[in-house]
Amino acid sequence: MEKIDSELLSVIADLHTVPQGAYNIRKNGQLLSRNSSANIEIVPKHDKSGIDIKIADNTQNESVHIPVIITKTGIKDLVYNDFFVGENCNVTIVAGCGIHCGDAEPSEHSGIHRFFVGKNSTVRYVERHIGVGNGNGDRIFNPKTVVELAEGAVMEMQTTQLGGVTSTLRTTEATLDNNSKLDIVEKILTENTQRAKTEFLVNLNGDDSRVKVVSRSVAKGMSNQLFHSIINGNARCFGHVECDAIIMDKARVSSIPEISANNIDAALTHEAAIGKIAGEQIIKLMTLGLTAEEAENMIVHGFLR
C-alpha cells in the first residue's frame, strides 16, 4: 500500500497493518485485499458491486474490517454490503471511508449496508468518514444503513464524520423485534460551506424493544446541518432521541425530532440543544495558558469525543 493508503486506513479503521481475521479492503472502486476466517465468510455479490458477510452462530469476540479508500479524483463508488449475523454472537464490525482529493474533480462514495442480526446477538458497528487532500474537488459521502434486529438482539452504532466532507446524506432505518436494543451515537463536524443531513427512521415493533439516538455535532464557517429523526413506538417500548450541537461563525443547524406513540405502553422522549460555546468556558481555559483559538479547539474536540 502507498503512504496515503496507510494514513487513511489508520484514521478510518485503526488499521496500521493488515488485520488478522476477516477483512475486505476496497480502493478506488476495486478490491484491494480480502480474507475470511473460520467463523466469518466474505463473498462477493454477483449481481452488483458489494459483498455478503456471513457470521456463523455462536461467534464470540471476533471482528471484521471493511474500509474503503479513494485516492483518485473523479471516482463515483457505490457498494451494497449485507451482513448476516447468526444467533448468540458477539462481534465488532469496522467500516468507513476516506477520500483523498488532489485536484478539482469530485469523488463520491455511497455505501448501502444491511444488517440482519440473529437472536440474542450483539453487534458493535463503527463507521468513520473523512475527506483530506489539497484539491478543491468535492468529497461526497452518502452512507445508508438498514438494521433488522431479531428477538433479544443488541446493536451499538458509532458513526463519525471527522471533517473535510463537502456534502453527505446519512440515512439509517431500523426495525426492532421483542426485547431488542439499538444504541446510536453519531458525531459530525462541518466547516466552510459543507452540508450534512442525517435521517433516522426507527420502528419499535417488539415488546420491550428500546432505542436511543444521540447526535453530537459542531458546525463552523457557513456550513449547514440538518438532523431529522422519526421514532415509531408500535408496541410496549422505549425510545429516546437527543440532538446536541455547537454552532460557530455563520453556520446553521436544524433539528427535527418526530416521535409517534402507536401503542398505549410506548414511552418516547426527545430533546435538542443548539448553541454557541459559552464565553466563560474559553476564558477559563485561557487562564491556564491557552490562546482563544486553542481553547476553542479543545472544547470542540472534547465535545466530539
Nearest of 38, 45, 42, 59 to residue 117 by alpha carbon: 59
Q: Answer with the residue of higher pLDDT: 19 or 252.
A: 252
The SS3 assignment for 37 reads coil
Q: Answer with the residue of higher pLDDT: 304 or 143.
A: 143
Report DSSP letters for 260-301, one per residue. EE-STTEEEEEEEEEEPPPHHHHHHHHTTT--HHHHHHHHHH
β-sheet bridge partners, residue 198: 170, 227
Q: Does residue 40 fall inside a structural domain? A: yes
Q: Does residue 70 fall inside a structural domain? A: yes
Q: How confident is the model at residue 1 (pLDDT cuts 50, 70, 90)?
A: low
Q: Which residue has the cell 408496541?
A: 235
Indicate yes or no: pTM above 0.85. yes
Q: Does residue 288 fall inside a structural domain? A: no
Residue 252 has pLDDT above 80, yes or no: yes
Q: Does residue 45 fall inside a structural domain? A: yes
For residues 78-95, average pLDDT: 97
Q: Does residue 296 fall inside a structural domain? A: no
How much helix, strand and coil, in percent to the nearest 5, is found in the chain?
Answer: 10, 55, 35
The pLDDT of residue 97: 96
Q: What percent of the chain has pLDDT over 90?
A: 82
The letter for the amino acid at 214 is V
Reported as a single tens digit per residue, the pLDDT across 264-278 is: 999 999 999 999 887
- CB-based contact 289:273 (threshold 8 Å): no
d(CA 166, CA 104) in angstroms, rounded, equals 13
C-alpha cell at 106: 469530485
d(CA 280, CA 282) in angstroms, rounded, equals 5
Number of folded domains that form the chain: 1
d(CA 79, CA 93) in angstroms, rounded, equals 16
Q: Within 10 Å of residue 136's Cβ, how many Cβ atoms?
A: 12
Q: Does residue 297 fall inside a structural domain? A: no
Reported as a single tens digit per residue, the pLDDT across 98-144 is: 999 888 999 999 999 999 999 999 999 999 999 999 899 999 999 99
The pLDDT of residue 70: 96
The pLDDT of residue 292: 85
Contacts of 224 (CB under 8 A, 6+ apart): 190, 193, 194, 195, 196, 251, 252, 253
The pLDDT of residue 285: 82
Q: Does residue 194 fall inside a structural domain? A: yes
For residues 205-231, average pLDDT: 97
How much is the mean pLDDT over the chain?
94
**Alpha-carbon torsion 219, 220, 222, 223, what sign?**
negative
Q: Does residue 101 fall inside a structural domain? A: yes
Domain with 38, as residue range(s), is 3-278
C-alpha cell at 35: 480474507
